[in-house]
A and B are shown apart, each in its own frame.
Chain A
Amino acid sequence: MSTQQQEPESQESPQDPEMKGTESPQQRRLREKQEGMVEDQAEKEAEVEGETVHLKVFRYDPEIADKQEPRFDDFHVPFEKGMTVLDAVMYARDEFDSSLTFRHSCRQAVCGSDAFFVNGKQRLGCKTQISDLQQPVRIEPLPYQEVVKDLVVDMDHFYDQMHAVEPYFQNDDTPDSSDLEEQRQSRENREKVKMSTRCIWCGACMSSCNIAAGDNEYLGPAAINKAYKFAMDDREPEDVKEHRLRIMEQEHGVWRCQTQFSCTNVCPKDIPLTEHIQELKREAVKKNLKFW
Chain B
Amino acid sequence: MAERYSSFTPGGTAWFLQRVTAAFLIVVLAFHFFLLHFVNHASEVTLLGTQQRMDHIGYFLTMVLFLVAGAFHGVNGVYNALVNQGLSGTPKKVVLAVLSLAGLALVAQGTYVALVMAEMI
Q: Using a Cβ cutoff of 8 Å, how many contacts connect chains A and B?
A: 46
* Residues of the B chain whose Cβ atoms lie less than 8 Å from the Cβ of A164: 1, 4
State whether the Cβ of A285 lies closer than 8 Å to any Cβ in chain B.
yes
A215 to B84, CA, bound (A): 6
Bitwise interface map of B from 5 to 43 toward A, beta carbon under 8 Å scored 1, else 0: 111011111111000000000000000000000000000
State whether the Cβ of B86 lies closer than 8 Å to any Cβ in chain A.
yes
Per the 8 Å Cβ criterion, residues 57-89 of B in contact with A are 83-86, 88
Establish whether residues B85 and A246, one from each chain, have CB atoms under 8 Å apart when the complex forms: no
State whether the Cβ of A256 lies closer than 8 Å to any Cβ in chain B.
yes
* Residues of the B chain whose Cβ atoms lie less than 8 Å from the Cβ of A217: 88
Establish whether residues A255 and B4, one from each chain, have CB atoms under 8 Å apart when the complex forms: no
Establish whether residues A215 and B85, one from each chain, have CB atoms under 8 Å apart when the complex forms: yes
Establish whether residues B15 and A246, one from each chain, have CB atoms under 8 Å apart when the complex forms: no
State whether the Cβ of A170 lies closer than 8 Å to any Cβ in chain B.
no
Establish whether residues B86 and A214, one from each chain, have CB atoms under 8 Å apart when the complex forms: yes
State whether the Cβ of A2 lies closer than 8 Å to any Cβ in chain B.
no
* Residues of the B chain whose Cβ atoms lie less than 8 Å from the Cβ of A256: 83-84
Establish whether residues A251 and B83, one from each chain, have CB atoms under 8 Å apart when the complex forms: yes
Establish whether residues A214 and B12, one from each chain, have CB atoms under 8 Å apart when the complex forms: no
State whether the Cβ of A68 lies closer than 8 Å to any Cβ in chain B.
no
* Residues of the B chain whose Cβ atoms lie less than 8 Å from the Cβ of A285: 12, 15-16
Establish whether residues B12 and A249, one from each chain, have CB atoms under 8 Å apart when the complex forms: yes
* Residues of the B chain whose Cβ atoms lie less than 8 Å from the Cβ of A253: 11
A164 to B4, CA, bound (A): 9
How many residues on B have C-beta within 8 angstroms of the other chain's C-beta atoms? 19
Interface residues on A, range: 10 to 19
* Residues of the A chain whose Cβ atoms lie less than 8 Å from the Cβ of B12: 249, 255, 284-285, 288
Establish whether residues B7 and A251, one from each chain, have CB atoms under 8 Å apart when the complex forms: no
A170 to B58, CA, bound (A): 54
**Residue in B closest to A291 when the chains form the complex, CB atoms:** B9
Establish whether residues A281 and B13, one from each chain, have CB atoms under 8 Å apart when the complex forms: no
A211 to B14, CA, bound (A): 18
Per the 8 Å Cβ criterion, residues 204-237 of A in contact with B are 211, 214-217
A214-B86, A215-B83, A285-B15 known; 20 new pairs, CB 8 Å cut-off, are: A164-B4, A214-B85, A215-B86, A216-B86, A217-B88, A249-B9, A249-B11, A249-B12, A250-B3, A250-B4, A250-B10, A251-B10, A251-B83, A255-B15, A258-B84, A281-B15, A284-B12, A285-B16, A288-B12, A288-B16
User: Which 4 pairs from chain A and chain B are nearest by CB?
Assistant: A255-B11, A251-B10, A214-B86, A214-B85
